[in-house]
Amino acid sequence: MASKPKNAVILLTAILLISVITPVVLSENYDRSYNCNAQFGLNNHTIHVSVPLSLYEYYQTKTHYLRNETDYQNLVTPDATAKIAETIRNMTATSSYADEEFANAVLTLVHGIPYAPSDVKYPVETIVENQGDCDAVSVLAASILKSGGLDVVLFYFPKAAHMNIGIHLPNKPYSTWMIPLKSYEYKGKEYWMAECTPKAEWQVGDQPESLSNETPIIIPLEDCEKTAPAQIAAKLDTPLTPSNITINLSSSPMLNYYDEQNLIVSGAITPAISDENIVMYISQNTTAWNVYTTKTDQTGQYAFHWDFTKTGTYYIKTSWSGTGNYSSADSETLTVFIGFPKFLIQFQTETYTYIIGKPEIAGQELRIRQGVKNFLNVNLTGAGVTLTGEFVVFKSGETLSTVRAPEYGIGDQPLRLPDNLIKNDQFCLILQRGNESNYNVNVKALDKDDVFQMQQLQGTKTAFLNASASVKENTWYKVTAKLSETEITAELRDVNGNILERMATANNGANIDEIGILMVNNTDRAVAFKNLAVKALNEPIPPLDGNITPTNELEIVMPYVNWVIVLASILAAAVYIVRRRKAFRALKS
């Protein structure tokens, strides 16, 4: 008579793609180009770089707080700039003074970044924002040089409120200036000064006159960041060819009682290249990202098994760093709402149903099993709204029952389940029209009473559609919808564009002020949305011809499914925008 609560099943999962209010949902790259010369200015080249948005966001959310000057080493990221270093190394490899030429070439690159007062930055941020002060460009130069194999330190001048770098070379550097070269010794090694600001064409060993009377604090870089989630793509002289990465989400084909419940995040890169590193970023609040990696197969495809154990909102995207010829690429961003993260395995007697748990937290456990009531609540203003998107329904897990006697450990005991335990097990998209062209969109998990009340108002104040009865599992559908005071239209198509259901009707007298679309009426299902786009209608829409009749009796409700989805993506985008800024102000040159 044993039954143990198994982990990892969801009562409801809704996945929404962030789209804000534009039809384009693909992530952008930050492409930059820099002049870079070798052989003391005789060999000029252009370095083209491409930074994926995901990598920029990752470093923006990392801590920028510096307790003291030695913490500057935490900002140095050699792995992220490895492809830039490799590109410049190839340019200077044949020189008799390869290390010195490499160092001077890196200096010409960072001298091309406009000087501007700024907060403390990671190198990726400096490249994307294309500006920075002395510490920002010094940290960038140190990252590239260290990635290229040179021994580098940071020089910090407290009185001058300035920073540059020190480079150890096998030989004394050559000077084109009629001034002595400057170096400082640290742990038995000589480090030559290298000025990174663009005030002059500084080379290794040159010292700005303003620093001649101050000895720097030397900051070693042994404890700098060892690995980055991705790398900046780089190419010499010609721009990188654009690439692409797709993302999809599906349920695991098999579920074992003792396994973690997981979803499969998959996709492919173009061009199709094998053994390429793919990064998956997952966050619950966009203020910190968990990073996972895998590799592509021979056809350029990849897959992650994502185990989830907590309720809440997740943001998921994947990224490819590109190659020496192709730019980096980010996938679309999925927003995932998860409720009820555990298997509900219960044992039954003739009269009651029980689970095993601790009495002191029984209330909390039961509340969790009732799911998340409200995923989204967003208001819009306008003459109407249009929405396009895609959705899929797939199996996410199952609730099991047993009549075997329970086995349980110390502190646990049988807990009787209320008869109405499973309440919020029906996923519904709801659109409500308020006063003065205000629209409210909700993504909710409803119980049977909520759904029944909506059905009772069908045809008077509410249009209700049970879409769960007309879709198949593991099949993608395309949906478009429009809602205004005078019109309700919607289409459901398969992936090939064939119309499966179509509705077009006039909202006569604007008497319908609530629309509900039931997507899931079973706790063992998940609903996913992607490629969502929403647009507010600013101009009044002429009423439809009164002779138009719907092709589906439930047509009135279909448009609203799309509405709620769109607004969910808007909310996710708003959450993403509210991001904490850096906590420590960098020293100014």
Residues 169-216 have pLDDT tens digits of 998 988 665 678 999 999 999 999 999 999 888 999 999 989 989 999
pLDDT computed for residue 286 by the predictor? 75
The candidate with the shortest Cα–Cα distance to 9, out of 339, 306, 482, is 339
DSSP string, 399-453: -EEE-SPP---TT-EEEEPPTT---S-EEEEEEEE-STTEEEEEEEEE-HHHHHH
pLDDT computed for residue 139 by the predictor? 98
Q: Decide the pairing of beta strands 514-520 and 462-466.
A: parallel
pLDDT computed for residue 395 by the predictor? 62
Contacts of 544 (CB under 8 A, 6+ apart): 486, 487, 489, 504, 505, 506
pLDDT computed for residue 314 by the predictor? 79
Report field, pTM of the whole predicted structure over 0.85: no
pLDDT computed for residue 484 by the predictor? 74
pLDDT computed for residue 284 by the predictor? 82
pLDDT single digits (tens) 46-75: 999 999 999 999 999 999 999 999 999 999
pLDDT single digits (tens) 335-379: 776 655 444 556 667 677 777 777 776 676 666 555 555 555 667
- The pair phi, psi for residue 182, each rounded to 5°, is -115, 135
pLDDT computed for residue 73 by the predictor? 96
pLDDT computed for residue 589 by the predictor? 44
pLDDT cut 70: percent of the chain above it: 69
pLDDT computed for residue 249 by the predictor? 84
CA 91 to chain centre: 35
Rg of the chain over all Cα atoms, to the nearest angstrom: 30
* Separation of alpha carbons 41 and 39, rounded Å: 6
pLDDT single digits (tens) 228-260: 999 999 999 999 999 999 998 887 665 444 444
pLDDT computed for residue 587 by the predictor? 39
- Band of pLDDT at residue 399, cut at 50, 70 and 90: low
User: What are the structural domains, with CATH classification, of the chain?
Assistant: 29-234 (3.10.620), 241-331 (2.60.40), 373-399+409-577 (no CATH)
Q: Is the pLDDT of residue 166 over 90?
A: yes
- Band of pLDDT at residue 310, cut at 50, 70 and 90: low
pLDDT computed for residue 116 by the predictor? 93
126, 136 Cβ separation under 8 angstroms: yes
pLDDT computed for residue 18 by the predictor? 36
- Band of pLDDT at residue 411, cut at 50, 70 and 90: confident
Lowest-confidence segment of 17-31, 257-271, 303-317, 352-366 by average pLDDT: 17-31
Q: Mean pLDDT across the chain, nearest whole number?
A: 76
Regarding predicted confidence, which is higher, 561 or 79?
Answer: 79
Mean pLDDT of 496-509: 75
- What is the three-class DSSP state of 280? strand
CA 429 to chain centre: 24
Q: Is the pLDDT of residue 19 over 90?
A: no
pLDDT single digits (tens) 457-497: 777 777 777 777 777 877 888 877 777 777 777 777 888 99
Q: Is the pLDDT of residue 524 over 60?
A: no
- Band of pLDDT at residue 144, cut at 50, 70 and 90: very high
pLDDT computed for residue 560 by the predictor? 38
In terms of average pLDDT, the best of 26-40, 143-157, 248-262, 417-431 is 143-157
Q: Residue type for 531, please?
A: N
565, 529 Cβ separation under 8 angstroms: yes
Q: Is the pLDDT of residue 452 over 50?
A: yes
Long-range contacts at 117-121 (CB < 8 A, ≥ 24 apart): 117/588, 118/586, 119/64, 119/581, 119/582, 119/584, 119/585, 119/586, 120/64, 120/66, 120/72, 120/75, 120/582, 120/584, 120/585, 120/586, 121/64, 121/75, 121/582, 121/586
pLDDT single digits (tens) 86-121: 999 998 888 778 899 999 999 999 999 999 999 999
Q: Is the pLDDT of residue 555 over 60?
A: no
pLDDT computed for residue 253 by the predictor? 62
